[in-house]
Structure 1
Amino acid sequence: MTGTAILLIILASAAKLLVSCLPTFVVEGLISKFEMHAKLSDENVIVTIDGKRLEDEDKIQVVNYFNEATVLKKYYIFPGNEQLFLQPENGGTPLVIDAKRGKKDVKLFVYSYKDHVDVVRQYKKKVIAYSMLSDSLQQRSMSVTGDLV
């Protein structure tokens, strides 16, 4: 009886140590699965605006601005209302970012306003919308949109 109790204590202690002291790469992998605003890589990204692809330096700048942005708040989307978030209020042209995250394709629609940036992320069949703050991205998107018009 005491042998089984000691064995259970040793197993429970080992499990506790294993769970509380996970390696860094395991923790980063778990956190990245639940990130709302994941960082993008230059190699796996296609950035388009109004059907025209941004290349080289422009694409790298947009990706860097997106990665440096600060998330303000998440919008809750109820089933059936997804299309409302895919159409901006002011009729502006969104930046469309097609990214590859692992084996999955992610599509981001970035709508710039004067005081914030709205992002709508389509991942599989899920739609997540959130607002973020990025002065550089707001100014960049407004100037690119102005150049196209």
Structure 2
Amino acid sequence: MIWILVVFGILIKVLMSPPSAVVAWLLSKFELHQKLDSKDVTVTFNGKNLEEEEKNKYTEYFNEANFLKKHYIFPGNEKLFLHPETNVKPFVINVKSGKKDVNFFVYSSDNHVDVVKQYKEKVVSYSLSSDYLQKFTLSTKGLN
């Protein structure tokens, strides 16, 4: 009988304060601006794939960018975010990890970077702050 109480007490303790690795994994599943692994990523600009070194730098800059705010998309307006009427050409990041296929469209402006994340049928938009991403975008304008 005492063993049942001890096991029950340990179980309650683990459920009430889970290990930090479990908490980190659970939070990463709901993270809006997730960290990308450059091995699972292809980055294209103007229809051309970036070279391996440029892709690694771009992925690193994307991971280090600071989240600013989320843009709310009303149902039916997804196409306005996926294909905006602008002259800015986006970097397209395709992430394929297992069955999961996610596309990021990265638009750079003077003071921030807009990201449109598309996965399955969902579209999410948010802004980032990253001087490195903006400078990288300016340095690749000659690739047109």
Deviations 1:17-69 (A, max 9, x none): 12233123321210111000000001000000111000211000100000000
1:35 equivalenced with 2:37 (yes/no): no
1:125 equivalenced with 2:139 (yes/no): no
Q: Give 1:26's aligned amino acid.
A: V
- 2:92 corresponds, among 89, 96, 115, to 96
- 2:143 corresponds, among 124, 139, 148, to 148
Please report the TM-score for the alignment, with normalisation by the length of structure 1. 0.86
Aligned-partner SS, 1:43: helix
Equivalences, count: 143
1:21 equivalenced with 2:24 (yes/no): no
1:135 equivalenced with 2:116 (yes/no): no
**Sequence identity, in percent?**
51
Which piece of structure 1 moves more, 115-124 or 82-91? 82-91
- 1:51 corresponds, among 27, 44, 47, to 47
Shift of residue 123 of structure 1? 1.1
How many Å separate the matches in 1 of 2:64 and 2:85? 25
- 2:66 corresponds, among 70, 86, 106, to 70
Which structure is larger by alpha-carbon Rg, 1 or 2?
A: 1
How many Å separate the matches in 2 of 1:91 and 1:97? 19
Which piece of structure 1 moves more, 33-42 or 13-22? 13-22
How many Å separate the matches in 2 of 1:12 and 1:40? 39
Please report the TM-score for the alignment, with normalisation by the length of structure 2. 0.89
Q: Give 1:125's aligned amino acid.
A: E
Shift of residue 14 of structure 1? 4.1
CA contact (8 A) 1:37 1:71 kept: yes
Shift of residue 16 of structure 1? 3.4
Q: Which runs of 5+ in 2 are unaligned?
A: none
Aligned-partner SS, 1:63: helix
Q: Which runs of 5+ in 1 are unaligned?
A: 1-5
